[in-house]
């Protein structure tokens, strides 16, 4: 399995729908496109191994504490081997979800099924555009459940 296929497998194992993921190859690198947005470049050659993301997503790198170097409009995350990709899972999920939301155009907090979704720990909305536009869906994917029997109790501090 090559590195791009491994990335797709990691995303698929998270429960995300990879039907909108495409892999294409050039001489220099492999592109991974999410929802028609080419947001990941992969290089796994004998001299250089890296994953690159567009510069405007650099805030994600600092959020996850990932070191990268800027090169031609992209940030490169150097890899020692294919197993290093698993350490980048949260970043990959974040980029996939970002592209998913970007493809919808309009987002909203949640639909009327938020309690059912919370109890199922997954978005149950059948309408694909509504499911993609639901901000609460991202919380469900990340295990942050605010309603129903699986709600996470939040400690509040009153001052």
For 118-147, the pLDDT digits (tens) are 999 888 887 766 777 788 887 888 788 999
Q: What is the pLDDT of residues 39-53, one digit of tens each?
A: 999 998 888 899 999
Beta bridge partners of 22: 33
Looking at the chain, the number of H-run helices and the number of E-run strands are 6, 6
Q: Higher confidence at residue 67 or residue 107?
A: 67
CATH code of domain 3-104? 3.90.1150
Q: Return the structure tokens found at 135.
A: 């901000």
CA-based angle 95:20:16, to the nearest 5? 60
How many other C-beta atoms are found inside a 10 Å radius of the C-beta of residue 124?
A: 15
Q: Higher confidence at residue 88 or residue 130?
A: 88
Q: What is residue 48's DSSP assignment?
A: -
Backbone angles phi, psi at 63, to 5 degrees: -60, -40
Q: Which helix (H) or strand (E) holds 70?
A: strand 69-71
Domain ranges of the chain: 3-104, 106-159
Among the ranges given (4-18, 30-44, 117-131), the one the predictor scored with the smallest mean pLDDT: 117-131
Backbone angles phi, psi at 12, to 5 degrees: -65, -45
Q: Return the structure tokens found at 83.
A: 């197993």
Does the global pTM surpass 0.85?
no
């Amino acid at each position: 399995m090559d590195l791009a296929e491994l990335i797709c497998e990691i995303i698929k194992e998270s429960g995300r729908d990879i039907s909108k993921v495409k892999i294409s190859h050039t001489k220099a690198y492999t592109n991974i496109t999410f929802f028609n947005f080419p947001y990941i470049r992969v290089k796994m050659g004998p001299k250089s191994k890296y994953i690159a993301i567009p510069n405007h997503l650099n805030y994600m790198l600092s959020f996850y504490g990932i070191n990268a170097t800027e090169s031609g409009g992209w940030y490169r995350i150097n890899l020692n081997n294919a197993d290093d990709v698993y350490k980048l899972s949260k970043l990959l999920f974040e980029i996939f979800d970002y592209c998913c939301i970007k493809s919808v155009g309009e987002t909203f907090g949640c639909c009327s099924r938020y309690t059912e979704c919370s109890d199922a720990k997954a978005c149950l909305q059948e309408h694909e555009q509504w499911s993609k536009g639901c901000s609460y869906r991202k919380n469900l994917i990340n295990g942050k459940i605010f309603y129903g029997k699986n709600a996470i109790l939040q400690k509040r501090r009153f001052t």
